Amino acid sequence: MVIIKTTCPSCGEVDLTAEKVELRIALGGTGSSYAFDCPRCTDRVRKPADSRVVQLLISGGVSPEILAEKAEAPVERTAKVAAARDAHPTRAHVVSRPSTPAITYDDLLEFHRELESGVLENFLRNAAA
């Protein structure tokens, strides 16, 4: 079980598991964020997630919810998010490199580059096709 360390404004550093974190990725811009219920004070905490935080959370097993910024039909958008959840793009990334037994720092850097180059957008386009 991967422990995700983050901070609560009231309690300071807290440990979370991936299931406790909701990650929202805003495609094509800023506005990505993550949220969790603090395990100590039970407050709902929402924080902005830059690309570094996003990649750390995903590598920790958090399933991202993809928010498309472009105007799309709600049904299509829901289908895309569902497809992204079902297919686990992060696992597809790992599977594409079967010789790599574990995620390394280099993998994170590579994943970061792929995120910035629009791999998520491409993935979603393919998943919806």
Q: In the complex, what is the shortest distance from the CB of residue 68 to Zn ion, in angstroms, rounded to a whole number?
A: 32
What are 71's strand-pairing partners?
Answer: none
Rg of the chain taking only CA atoms, in angstroms = 15
40 contacts Zn ion (rule: CB under 5 A): yes
Using the rule CB under 5 A, is 47 a contact of Zn ion? no
> Is residue 83 within 8 Å of residue 120, measured between CB atoms?
no
Structure-token match 């928010």, residue found: 67
Query: Considering beta carbons, is residue 2 or 41 the nearer one to Zn ion?
Result: 41
Smallest gap from Cβ 102 to Zn ion, in A, equals 31
* 11 contributes a contact to Zn ion by CB under 5 A: yes
Nearest distance, CB of residue 37 and Zn ion, angstroms: 9
Distance CA 90, CA 84 (A): 10
Only one of the segments 21-29, 36-44, 64-72, 94-102 lies at the binding site for Zn ion (rule: CB under 5 A); that segment is 36-44
What is the maximal distance between C-alpha atoms in the chain? 45
Stretch that binds Zn ion, among 6-14, 60-68, 84-92, 100-108 (CB under 5 A): 6-14
Contacts of 116 (CB under 8 A, 6+ apart): 51
Footprint on this chain of Zn ion (rule: CB under 5 A): 8, 10-11, 38, 40-41
